[in-house]
Each structure stands twice: as C-alpha cells, then as structure tokens.
Amino acid sequence: MATIPMAPPIPRRPLAKRAGVPEGKVIEFVMNSSESKFYPGGNGAFQRHVCVYVPAGYAGAELPVIVSADAYGMR
C-alpha cells in the first residue's frame, strides 16, 4: 500500500488593501437559534456568531451571496 504525504500548511496572511478599491463593512451579531427559520434548535437552544460583509455602495437591491462556515479571517 502506498503512503501519500501530507501537504504543508498554507500560511494565513491578511488580505492587502488596494488603493482606489471601494471598501465595504462587516456587520457582526449573535443570532439565537429561536430566531432561525432553518435551525431553530431542535436539540436545544444555541447561539451563533454571524459576520455579514456589506459591499461598498450597497443600496438595498438583491445581490449574489457567498456563505462561509469557517469565518476565515474574521477573528
């Protein structure tokens, strides 16, 4: 049987800001499971830390969404 070596870890580095690129904002809040339509806490109540990035210039129109479950770079 062959052994596959593990890849080295990729170092995390902060994203660089670029001049002239509009910067949005991150809104952070804690959501109680009782407020969720999808995960109401069937096995007991819980809280979830949520971060939402709002693009610069957002005016309330529908936009595409990206969901990240790992909070990469948020803490």
Q: What is the mean pLDDT of each run of 10 residues along the chain (75 residues)?
A: 75 80 89 78 79 85 76 56
Give the residue among 36, 37, 66 at the shortest CA–CA distance from 54. 66
**For position 74, what pLDDT does the model report?**
56
Domain parsing of the chain, residue ranges: 25-54
SS3 1: coil
CA angle in degrees (0–180, nearest 5) for 62-65-66: 170
